[in-house]
Amino acid sequence: MKIKLKKGLDLKIAGAVSNLTPIDISSSLYAVYPDDFPGFKPKVDVKEGDRVIAGAPLMHDKNNTDVKLVSPVAGTVKAVVRGERRKVVRIEVEASAEATTRHFDLSLGLGSDEAVRVLAESGLLAEIRQRPYDIVPLTAAMPRDIFVTAIDSAPLAVSPELAVEGKKKELSAGVKFLKQLCKGKIYVSVRPDSHLGAIEGCERVEVVGPHPAGNAGVQAANIAPVNKGETIWTLDVVTLARIGQLALSGQRDFETLVAVTGPEVASPAVVRTIEGAAIAGIIAGRLKQSDHHIRIISGNVLTGIAVEADAFIRFPYRQITVIAEGDDKTEFMGWASFSPSKPSVSPTFPGHFSAKEFAPDARLNGGRRAMIMSGEYDRMLPMDILPEYLLKAIISRNIDSMEKLGIYEVAPEDFSAAEYVDTSKLPLQQIVRDGLDYLREALE
């Protein structure tokens, strides 16, 4: 099967990785953030000073107690960081030299109920997303289909295929494991020039098009859209390989590849580390020497999370992007400047016609205002929905209109390109996230 998507946008940003050979960097401190897992309501299972092994539960979901978030390393719980009203912000684990990993006994084979429980207990279910609502899957809801993406079309991203090189056996085992949980098909989406070979038990889909073509939800919407009353799962090929490794060995793999990218990075590189590692050690010695403020993003410039240098890699991102903050910059005419060094999707500005790579900063360049019905969102969203009308229905909390306009198909990340080009400067991704949460609470 082949899909050609024309809508979307590929940003030309400096700071891409040219050498894909991974560099090994370890950290002494790791962290897990429950906010990275939509729909997960955390209940802490450990306290400061507790000894844990890799794969041991740190938190469980209050509403679905089988679903766990687990420690990526063996060590000691250093801190349970809480915010306002004792909200759990993160749990930090200090790694020890002992590399003990939790083992699951899968030797006797599993039925579908037991397979879901193992996924939930291992923390891997939390790394999958369910549509509708773009949340951690509910263990009671069997998906109609499962969509796996081997594409990351976000700016400066490195292909996830790099992380699964030589893991054909794990990928096949992952598909076999998920088959017992799925009523229909498992689709794996790749680029036409993919080096990922055929994986037994799944349907291969070749996808052509700009970002957000790499989003599993966008692929699902163009293959077999989810309707009201149906459930699908989405995940990436790295998570599929981890599920396969769990099925083969009974142990989870927490190793990850992180691309360090962006205009403020002197030497972009791919780093091999562990999920949730401290960012400081990964970017140390890699940033350009400059006297202006910078923004460190865990993830890409469109969907990533702005963090401090002493923060940790956030899930699901396997990328760190560093750009200029821009708050200490003065510029003649401001956002209206006709400088050819400024990127733009509008032919009004010279940068629109340039083929060079740009070094954007984090400024909003304009104030928020009423939504302009210009069709610009539609040009960035390769799905059969009316995004402007859907967003208005979300803002007005009109559940009937939200359902009719396709809210069950979307996730916040699908609107990332539309948010970038939005002349109204609205936080479209947050609007969609709030709408999904509202709809779920209203219909439960």
Query: At 401, which amino acid appears?
Result: S
> What is residue 256's three-state secondary structure?
strand
Quote the CA–CA distance of 95 and 89 in Å, as a whole number.
19
Query: At 199, which amino acid appears?
Result: I
pLDDT given for residue 330 in this prediction: 72
Query: What sign does the CA torsion over 346, 208, 3, 300 have?
Result: negative
Residue 344 neighbours by CB distance under 10 Å: 17
Quote the CA–CA distance of 318 and 311 in Å, as a whole number.
14
Instruction: Decide if 90 contacts 32 (C-beta within 8 A).
Output: yes
Whole-angstrom CA distances from 172 to 167, 198, 200, 237, 296 are 9, 9, 6, 11, 36
Q: ω before 22 within 30° of 0 (cis)?
A: no
Q: How many helices (H) and strands (E) does the chain have?
A: 9, 19
Residue 321's Cα: distance from chain center in Å? 14
> What is residue 335's three-state secondary structure?
helix
* pLDDT of 332 strictly over 80: no
Both tokens of 53, joined, read: 């092994």
Query: At 76, which amino acid appears?
Result: T
* pLDDT of 107 strictly over 70: no
Residue-wise pLDDT for 59-106, tens only, equals 999 999 999 999 999 999 999 999 999 999 999 999 998 889 999 988
| Biggest CA-to-CA distance, the chain | 70
Q: What is the pTM of this model?
A: 0.94
- Closest C-alpha to 296, from 268, 270, 269, 320: 320
pLDDT given for residue 365 in this prediction: 78
pLDDT given for residue 11 in this prediction: 95
Residue-wise pLDDT for 347-371, tens only, equals 777 777 777 899 989 988 777 788 8
Residue-wise pLDDT for 383-423, tens only, equals 999 999 999 999 999 999 999 999 999 999 999 999 999 98
Return the residue matching tokens 């990075």.
Answer: 265
Residue-wise pLDDT for 261-308, tens only, equals 999 999 999 999 999 999 999 999 999 998 899 999 999 999 999 999
Instruction: Decide if 151 contacts 159 (C-beta within 8 A).
Output: yes
Return the residue matching tokens 């400059």.
Answer: 290
Quote the CA–CA distance of 408 and 56 in Å, as a whole number.
33
> What is residue 94's three-state secondary structure?
strand
At residue 28's C-alpha, the angle toward residues 26 and 32, to 5°, is 95
> What is residue 131's three-state secondary structure?
strand
**What's the mean pLDDT when you consider all of the chain?**
93
Quote the CA–CA distance of 151 and 192 in Å, as a whole number.
11
- Closest C-alpha to 382, from 219, 205, 235, 226: 219
pLDDT given for residue 444 in this prediction: 78
